[in-house]
Structures are given as structure tokens and as C-alpha cells.
């Protein structure tokens, strides 16, 4: 009897170890894995579109048609083709904290890259859990859905379904050519996002999610793209609220230059495409679209990067997906149904400012950003002893903080709902004086996902901040409100009082940190 019991327990243990989460969708069974001995099921590298290669390069994404009855989705699929800037940034940061650069693994990239990832605490298709869809940043030129800080297992433990999606980048995603005709003639990366959201709406119920309660959240260019899609008819009802981290406002001047002048236009896209076609041609005649499609992806990427490495890819006003500059939609459309969390980090630009700043440089930058009120601007920041702080404050205010608060003010004025945050936590440790470890662009991400890298200094206070931030984000997804009784109250943004929630060493409500600069900004864009 004892031998039988031991044998039974052994077999049971083996069975438990080999148990795998399975979901059947679209005539295919997806087999995932459980995350590190937890009950969080992970389905990684699910194709939502046919590979955008050959004749599908620079075309609308095509819904994936399964070719096999079973597909194992236990590991991430390659990232979209891109320069290695963000990978090197992670390695730089690891080095700052005293680790070897190769602690951050190499990145596999491929033109065949339209996959998404799902983390869920249940496979009960009646659970109707809120869905949180993450769209990564990287100037629409780089980044990937499974960056170290974007894994969704920790958020999923708070009873939400988390999805991260890929989209075409750079020359493959934000590009056009005079021969590309029809309604889908640019913004291919944004169309990828729309198709991924359509896939989620159709299939997420099988993963325990509620297709009628989807929160899109993103950082940097990801936030900018979400803001554009809020007003895009093809994305209507595919998500219902948004969390816009560090860049929602930044995309606005990129598109309108503060005065309604579109910077990223179809003309711009086609001119870049035509220039690329001329550079790659071996004759005086630029390559046709079909000829461009026959050029290797690597050659296109390398050539484009050499010629346009400094280009920031904003969604182009194509007259169909993006009908007009987003800023005009914010000013003119009904915003009463919009619900957003939006915010900025304290030191968005400090790490990228030059170390030796001259008074002449300061005046030039102030004039570029706040052209008509340079004296007032410089008077506001004159108490700063570090010229780099001045530059950081000016760029952060004009590019992110003030546009974000202005967006929130427009929403609440139209009876919509918005909550504004200000993230200023600076990591502790021996390297804390290094500029990269201030409240830099992206510093909030490991707190949002609870994915603190093992090579970073993470204290009990960091963990406490993380618990509160993840509660705010998931509460918003669940209840359209970030608050509950166990965490500090976060009031809705009010255009008159302009209180924001500080997310840092203290979690507290504070007045807007740049009220004077933001008043100047508002006066400038509304003239």
C-alpha cells in the first residue's frame, strides 16, 4: 500500500509539472506555459497578422490565418527590425549600476515580427477580467513588446489580463512612397496596432478577459500613438480608456508645432520614401515600389538609418486613419467620454543634455521652445544653479509636462475624466549621482509593471511605491478610477486648481510643479 501511495504521488507530481495552459481560438489550439510555478498563464509570441514581408511590405496588415491545428507559444518571437539604440541603453544603465553590459541579452530582430503576448490569471472565459494592452515606446523607430520591464505577470496577479503588442517600426512602419495609393498609404505601424486591438476584441474572452473593458497604456511614442488612436475612427470601441506615460503631450507639438503647422505629413513621408528610392537605385531613376520591396530588409534598414537616423516618427496625417493633427481634435472634438491617466517624469531630458552648457545655448533653447516669451521663461528658471537642470526643465515642460496638463484640462472642461501624475523617484545606490539614475525618461516603467531588474538597486521603499502605482493602474482598468481605500487618494485633475499626484519618495497630492511655464505654454499654443 505504501509503495502504491509513493507511486501515485510521483505520477501526480509529474502530471502537475507537465500541465500546460491551452486556449482554442480560430481553429487552433495555443499551448502556453505557467510563469515560474505560479498560476499566471503566459502565451508568448502569438501571431496576429501574416508576416509583413515581400508583397505585404508597406501594406495594410493582414489577419493571421492559422496553418496548423496546434501552436506552442511559450517564448517571445523576434522584435521588429530596428537599430540597437534601446538595447544599448539598457546595457548602459546596467553598467551604471556596476554590472557587465552582457547581463542584458542580445535582441533577435526580424521583418516577420507581428506577434503579441498575453498574461492571465485565469482561462475561465466567463471571468470578464479587465484587459490592459501595452504599446511600447522608442520614437516609433525602436523598442519591442517584451523589453525587460514590460512583462505582464506581476500585473496579472492583480486580476487583470495583460497584453503587449508589436508593430512595425521606422522605415517599415512609418513610411510612404508616391506609388502607395488608397486609404492605407502610411502609418503602417499604427495599422498594426489597430489589427492587434481587433484581435484582442475578438479573442481575449478565451483568456479570461472582457473585450468591453480594455485599457490601452503606453510610454513615450506608445503613449503618443494611443492618443492619436483615441480619435481614429478605425480604432473606435477597440479600447475604452488610456494611460499615457511620458510623451502624450510630446507628440502634439511634433504634429502641430504649437501653431497648427503639421510637421509629420504625407508629403514628408513620401519625400523621405522618394529619397530612399533614389539612394538605393543604381540608375538616375528612383526605385519603384515593387523594386523597393525586392530590396533586402537589412539593406533598407541600414540605408534608412544612415540617412534619417535623427527623424522622429510621428503619426502622419493621412486623411483616413489620422484625419487631422491630434491637437486639433483635442481642441474641437467632444471629450466627455474620454478617461485618461497622464503624466510626466521629473527629469525626462537631463541624461541627454550636454554637460557643458553656455548661456548662449540656454537662450537659444529657450527661444526655440518659448519663442515669444524668452525673458519670462528665463526669469522663471534663474534660481537654478545647474544649467543642465534649466535645459531639462525647459524641455520637460514644453515637450511633456505642460502639453499633458493642457490635455487633461481640455478633457475635464468637456466633462471627461483625467488624473495627472508627476513621477520623481530617484533610485538609491552608489551610482545615484549618475544622470541616468535620476527620474529619467522611462524610470517609472519597472514600478508600473513591478519588474525591477535584478541589477538595479531596489529598496523596501521602491517596493512600497510599486505596490501603490500598480494599484492605481489596475484600479483604473477595473473601475475607471485609480483610487481605493487602501492607498493615498488621487483627485481628478481640475483646470483651475491643477493638482497632480506625486509618485516618488512620498505619494501625495501637490500643485503643478511648473505652473508658470505651463501658463506661458498655454498662452503660446492658444494664440
The Cα–Cα gap between 440 and 457 comes to 15
| Grid cell at residue 280 | 538605393
The Cα–Cα gap between 195 and 192 comes to 5
Which residue, chain included where needed, has cell 544649467? 387
Of residues 256, 292, 262, 261, the one with CA closest to residue 274: 292
Of residues 499, 456, 489, 400, the one with CA closest to residue 148: 456
Name residue 25's beta-bridge partners.
Answer: 28
The Cα–Cα gap between 99 and 103 comes to 7
Task: Please identify which of the residues 220, 314, 418, 512 carries the catalytic annotation.
Answer: 220
Give the DSSP per-residue string, 153-201.
Answer: HHHHTTT-EEEEE----HHHHS---TT--SS-SS-HHHHHHHHHHHHHH
418 has catalytic annotation: no
* DSSP letter, residue 435: G
Name residue 510's beta-bridge partners.
Answer: 500
Q: How far apart are the first and last CA of the chain?
A: 88
The Cα–Cα gap between 188 and 166 comes to 12
The Cα–Cα gap between 489 and 472 comes to 10
Q: Which residues have C-beta within 8 Å of that of residue 51, sequence separation ≥ 6?
A: 111, 112, 114
Catalytic residues: 220
Amino acid at each position: 500500500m505504501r509503495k502504491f501511495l509513493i507511486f501515485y504521488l510521483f505520477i501526480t507530481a509529474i502530471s502537475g509539472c507537465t500541465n500546460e495552459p491551452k486556449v482554442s481560438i480560430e481553429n487552433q489550439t495555443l499551448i502556453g506555459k505557467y510563469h515560474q510555478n505560479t498560476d499566471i498563464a503566459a502565451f508568448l509570441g502569438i501571431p496576429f497578422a501574416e508576416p509583413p514581408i515581400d508583397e505585404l511590405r508597406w501594406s495594410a496588415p493582414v489577419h493571421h490565418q492559422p496553418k496548423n491545428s496546434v501552436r506552442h507559444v511559450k517564448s517571445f518571437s523576434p522584435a521588429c527590425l530596428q537599430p540597437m539604440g534601446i538595447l544599448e541603453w539598457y546595457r548602459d544603465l546596467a553598467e551604471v549600476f556596476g554590472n557587465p553590459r552582457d547581463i542584458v541579452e542580445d535582441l533577435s530582430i526580424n521583418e516577420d515580427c507581428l506577434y503579441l503576448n498575453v498574461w492571465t490569471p485565469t482561462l475561465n472565459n466567463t471571468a470578464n477580467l479587465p484587459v490592459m494592452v501595452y504599446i511600447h515606446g522608442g520614437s516609433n523607430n525602436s523598442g519591442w513588446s517584451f523589453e525587460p520591464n514590460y512583462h505582464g505577470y506581476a500585473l496579472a496577479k492583480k486580476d487583470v489580463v495583460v497584453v503587449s503588442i508589436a508593430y512595425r517600426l521606422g522605415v517599415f512602419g512609418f513610411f510612404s512612397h508616391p506609388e502607395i495609393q488608397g486609404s492605407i498609404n502610411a502609418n503602417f505601424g499604427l495599422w498594426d496596432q489597430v489589427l492587434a486591438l481587433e484581435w484582442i476584441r475578438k479573442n481575449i474572452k478565451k483568456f479570461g478577459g472582457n473585450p468591453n473593458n480594455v485599457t490601452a497604456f503606453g510610454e513615450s511614442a506608445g503613449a503618443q500613438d494611443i492618443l492619436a488612436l483615441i480619435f481614429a475612427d478605425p480604432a473606435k470601441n477597440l479600447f475604452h480608456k488610456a494611460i499615457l506615460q511620458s510623451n502624450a503631450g510630446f507628440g502634439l507639438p511634433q504634429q502641430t508645432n504649437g501653431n497648427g503647422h503639421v510637421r509629420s505629413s504625407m508629403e514628408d513621408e513620401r519625400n523621405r520614401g522618394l529619397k530612399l528610392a533614389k539612394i538605393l537605385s543604381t540608375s538616375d531613376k528612383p526605385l519603384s515600389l515593387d523594386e523597393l520591396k525586392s530590396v533586402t530588409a537589412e539593406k533598407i534598414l541600414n540605408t534608412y538609418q544612415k540617412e534619417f537616423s535623427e527623424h522622429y516618427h510621428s503619426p502622419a496625417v493621412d486623411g483616413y486613419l489620422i484625419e487631422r493633427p491630434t491637437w486639433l481634435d483635442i481642441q474641437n472634438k467632444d471629450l466627455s467620454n474620454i478617461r485618461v491617466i497622464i503624466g510626466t517624469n521629473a527629469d525626462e531630458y537631463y541624461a541627454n543634455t550636454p554637460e557643458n552648457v553656455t548661456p548662449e545655448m540656454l537662450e537659444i533653447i529657450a527661444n526655440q521652445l518659448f519663442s515669444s516669451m524668452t525673458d519670462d521663461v528665463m526669469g522663471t528658471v534663474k534660481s537654478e544653479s545647474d544649467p543642465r537642470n534649466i535645459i531639462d526643465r525647459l524641455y520637460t515642460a514644453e515637450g511633456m509636462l505642460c502639453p499633458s496638463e493642457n490635455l487633461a484640462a481640455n478633457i475635464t472642461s468637456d466633462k471627461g475624466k483625467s488624473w495627472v501624475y508627476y513621477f520623481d523617484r530617484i533610485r538609491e545606490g552608489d551610482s545615484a549621482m549618475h544622470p541616468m539614475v535620476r527620474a529619467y525618461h522611462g524610470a517609472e516603467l519597472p514600478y508600473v509593471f513591478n519588474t525591477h531588474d535584478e541589477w538595479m538597486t531596489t529598496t523596501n521603499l521602491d517596493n512600497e511605491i510599486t505596490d501603490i502605482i500598480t494599484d492605481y493602474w489596475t484600479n483604473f482598468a477595473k473601475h475607471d478610477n485609480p483610487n481605493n481605500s487602501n492607498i493615498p487618494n488621487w483627485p481628478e485633475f481640475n483646470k483651475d486648481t491643477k493638482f497632480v499626484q506625486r509618485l516618488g519618495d512620498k505619494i501625495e497630492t501637490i500643485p503643478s510643479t511648473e505652473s508658470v511655464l505651463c501658463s506661458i505654454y498655454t498662452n503660446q499654443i492658444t494664440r
